[in-house]
Amino acid sequence: MGDPPFGTLYLVAVPIGNLGDMTRRSLEVLSSVSVVASEDIQATRRLLSSQGIHSRVVSYREAGREAAGREILEVLQAGDSVALVCEAGTPGISDPGRDLVARCHQEGIAVSPVPGASALTAALSASGLPARRFAFEGFLPRSASERRRFLAGLAHEPRTMVFFEAPHRLVQALEDLRQALGDRRAFLGRELTKRFEECRAGLLGDLLERFAAEEPRGECVLVVEGASETDQAVDEEALAGDAVFLRGLGLRAGDTAEVLSRFRGVRRNLAWKLAAKVGEGDESQA
C-alpha cells in the first residue's frame, strides 16, 4: 500500500468586523478540518466558539512561522486538512501565510482558497477611484526616513494605490502622502463593516484636516489616486533640474542616475536618460 493522500491547506477568510460576513462554506471548512492555524489564537477561538465550532487551534505567527510551518506540514502530510486564518480578513494579505502556501506547493500539497471578507477590496470598491488597475502597498514603513523614501518612489505610480495603516500613525501617513504625492483625491475606510464604520472621500488635505482635529480609532485603509499624465510631466521636469544640479557638483552620469534612482524613487531607465541628457557633449571633458 502507498502513502496516504495528503490533506488540504484551506485559506479561510474571516470577517473584518461584522460576523454576518462569515460564509456558509467557511463555516463548513472550519468545522471539518483537524486543525485551524491562526496568528491570534484567542481571537480565533472566540470566533469559532461564537459559531459553535470547536476545532483545535494552533499558533501560526510571523515570528515563529518556520517551526509552526513544519508542524503544520506534518499534519498535512499525515492526511489531515488544515485551515489557515488570520485575525481578520484574508490570510496572506499583509498577514502570515505566504511562506506556508509556497512550501505546500513545493511539497505537492493541495491549497484551496475560501474567499470572503477583505479590507482591501472593501475599501477599493467604496472609494470611487479607478479600480481597473491598482497597487496594494500594505503598511507603510514605520521609520520616517524610510517612509518618505518609499513614498517618493510612488510619485510616478499611475495606478490607484491602497495602504493599510494603524490609527496612531494615520495623521503622519497623510502628511507624508500629501508631501510626496501632492494633494490628490483619496478615500479613508475606518472600522470597515463595524458599528462605527466611517467611509470618507476627499483630497488628502481634507482627510488630514479631519483626523488631525479628532484622533482616529480603529484600523484604517487608505486609497489614493494614482499619478496623472500632467503630474508625471511636472515631476520629470523637476527631476531634470535635480539631474542638472547633481551633474553641476561634478557627478558622472552613472552616479547621478544612481542618486536619482535611490533617493528620488526614479525608475533606473528614466534616471539614466535624465542624467545622460545633461551630460551630452560633456563626457569627453569629464
- Rounded to the nearest integer, the mean pLDDT of the chain is 89
Residue 158 is part of which domain span? 120-227
Q: Residue 102 phi/psi, 5° resolution?
A: -60, -40
**pLDDT, tens digit (0-9, with 9 covering 90-100), for 240-274:** 888 888 888 888 888 888 888 777 666 667 778 88
CA 53 to chain CA centroid, nearest Å: 30
Q: Is the pLDDT of residue 199 over 50?
A: yes
One domain for residues 152 and 104? no
What is the CATH number for 198?
3.30.950.10
Q: Report if residue 192 sits inside a domain.
A: yes
Of the two residues 152 and 80, the one the predictor is more confident about is: 80
Pull the grid cell for residue 190. Answer: 475606518
Q: Is the pLDDT of residue 4 over 90?
A: no
Q: Report if residue 111 sits inside a domain.
A: yes
The pLDDT of residue 58 is: 96
Residues 172-190 have a mean pLDDT of 94
Q: Report if residue 2 sits inside a domain.
A: no
The pLDDT of residue 259 is: 84
Angle value at C-alpha 266, between 259 and 161, nearest 5 degrees:
140
Of 117, 145, 177, the position where a domain reaches its end is 117
d(CA 210, CA 204): 10
> Is 170 in contact with 160 (CB distance < 8 Å)?
no
- Number of domains the chain contains: 3
One domain for residues 221 and 242? no
**pLDDT, tens digit (0-9, with 9 covering 90-100), for 77-128:** 999 999 999 999 999 887 888 999 999 999 999 999 999 999 999 999 999 9
Of the two residues 218 and 236, the one the predictor is more confident about is: 218
Q: Report if residue 96 sits inside a domain.
A: yes
> Is 167 in contact with 220 (CB distance < 8 Å)?
yes
Pull the grid cell for residue 90. Answer: 484574508
Helix residue ranges per DSSP H, 94-169: 98-107, 119-127, 144-152
Beta carbons within 8 Å of 169's beta carbon, 6+ residues apart: 140, 142
Instruction: Kindly provide the b/e burial profile for residues 153-176, where b requires at least 16 CB atoms within 10 angstroms of the residue's own CB.
Output: bbbbbebbbbbbbeeebbbebbeb
Q: Is the pLDDT of residue 198 over 80?
A: yes
**What is the pairing mode between strands 198-203 and 185-190?**
antiparallel
Largest Cα–Cα separation, the chain: 79
The pLDDT of residue 277 is: 82
